[in-house]
Amino acid sequence: MAFLLDKRLVFVTGKGGVGKTTVAACLARVAARRGKRVIVCEIAQDGRPHDEVEIEPNIHSIAVDPETAMREYLSDQVGGAMSKLMTSSRIFTYLAAAAPGMRELLTIGKVWDLAQLDQRRTGDTPYDLVLLDAPATGHALGMLRTPRTFRDVARVGPISRQAGRIDAFLSDPELTGIVAVAAPEEMPINETIDFIDALGSDMAIEPDAVVVNGVYPDRFRNAEIAAIERVGGNSPALRAAVAEHRRARHHRNQVQRLRRRTGALTLPFLFEEQVGAGALDDLSRILEARLR
């Protein structure tokens, strides 16, 4: 765990709905308890302000907006009235449309900037750890590839140089880590295995951790379930116990299938309507113990 949290940037990705935001929040809590100044980044999709906000002691958050990132980049590279002209919304739309992958480059460029200790373009106080609550695995893989693509296509000039610096940072296992999150079901496990394979073939790296989130607990032995089925009759409580046992067995099978490909740790399913601060603290301590 210390090795993972000693990196500058950690991607947390997984199929939609598997709980990657929960895992990112848990990692942030673990790091904050260890005295690190942390920021959790997510991709802005609803017009939220592009601001760094402290949400808990030592834990900050930001919704990274590509258009605002474009303004910051051009202000740094061009400056003055020309920067303001180029960052009008219409011109930005044309630029983004004309260069496929530009939004991804601007987004990862902003996240990279947040992870710099002494060369940040924005803000004054550096962060010890940047956690990216990344898009789903396919999109996240594309985001990891994008800087290298722009570096190779542009070849010369400021975009190529900047993309090259970002790619070198993302490719350095001492600086950047990847956490893949899955749910204990067939499709998320399949997608996680595909992501791990693509990550290895495209970038020659492996995830630093694989987390299977929401695993049902083993409450009964098979003999106990057999006894319940013999006497259960129409009892809703006993039928629920049998159903939960079968679901837990299915989850174990899926976790074992993933572990045939890679190491994986698990987080328990929370039988709660909402995951509040107390539940996140509990999960973060479980995650901390299992990542050691």
Q: Per-residue pLDDT for 151 more than 70? A: yes
Asked if residue 15 lies in contact with residue 191, where contact means CB atoms within 8 angstroms, the answer is yes
- CA dihedral 133→139→141→144, nearest 10 degrees, is -70
Specify which residues 14 forms β-bridges with.
181
pTM of the full structure:
0.87
Task: State the CATH number of the domain containing residue 171.
Answer: 3.40.50.300
Percent of the chain with pLDDT over 70: 84
pLDDT in tens, 211-228: 999 999 988 888 877 777
Q: How confident is the model at residue 67 (pLDDT cuts 50, 70, 90)?
A: confident
Residue for token digits 């301590």?
Answer: 285
Domain that holds residue 190: 2-290
Buried/exposed code over 157-172 (b: 16+ C-beta within 10 A; e: otherwise):
eebeebbbbbbebbee
Q: How confident is the model at residue 2 (pLDDT cuts 50, 70, 90)?
A: low
Question: CA–CA separation, 115 vs 8, rounded Å?
Answer: 6
Q: Give the pLDDT score at 147.
A: 92
Number of domains in the chain: 1
Q: Per-residue pLDDT for 65 more than 90? A: no
What would the mean pLDDT of 261-284 be, rounded to a whole number?
90
What would the mean pLDDT of 52-61 be, rounded to a whole number?
93
Q: Give the pLDDT score at 81.
A: 47
Task: Calculate the alpha carbon distances from 37 to 61, 126, 144, 156, 277 in Å.
Answer: 11, 8, 24, 36, 18
Asked if residue 6 lies in contact with residue 117, where contact means CB atoms within 8 angstroms, the answer is no
CA angle 123, 29, 106 (to 5 degrees): 40
- DSSP one-letter string for 207-260: -SEEEEEEEPP----HHHHHHHHHH-TT-HHHHHHHHHHHHHHHHHHHHHHHHT
pLDDT in tens, 4-14: 889 999 999 99
Q: How confident is the model at residue 100 (pLDDT cuts 50, 70, 90)?
A: low
Three-class DSSP category at 59: strand
Task: Calculate the alpha carbon distances from 145 to 136, 160, 165, 172 in Å.
Answer: 14, 14, 13, 14
Residue for token digits 């010369």?
Answer: 156
| Nearest C-alpha neighbor of 277 from the set 94, 25, 19, 99 | 25
Q: Which pair of structure tokens corresponds to residue 46?
A: 């609803």
